[in-house]
Structure 1
């Protein structure tokens, strides 16, 4: 499944860790679409989805009890 935005479709995540974020984006897209905040949130969502997919393909396990900010910082260091 997916929902459309002006910049293209946003697809439902393969990784269920991102389901709640996807639902929030989908729910608020009609109101927030076009705002810098919404575009940033969609970008973060899509980056997380891609990184989680890469990690699962590499056999890595993501700890779901880690704060998101810590996980994002770790990923930023890896991709820098």
Structure 2
């Protein structure tokens, strides 16, 4: 909660700060603003992650195509296996 929301909430609970209905209206408007901001942040994060996922899937597909191509090429010529490297 923002400081303004806390102040308004305190005014409502203590009965100070003017008309309770007006204070409640201000509290609801402040809460709405906070929720809209949070929603916009979440939507931006979802969009960023969706784009990241799309690019990752595209890279995986390109790698898959390249691996298939290399396998086809390896089937038409002699391929020598490299010796296993000892662990360092």
Under TM normalisation by the shorter chain, which class is it?
Answer: 0.3 to 0.5
Larger radius of gyration: 2
Which structure is higher in strand share? 1
Which structure is higher in helix share? 2
TM-score by length of 2: 0.39
Query: Which structure is richer in relative contact order (CA contacts within 8 A, separation 6 or more)?
Result: 1
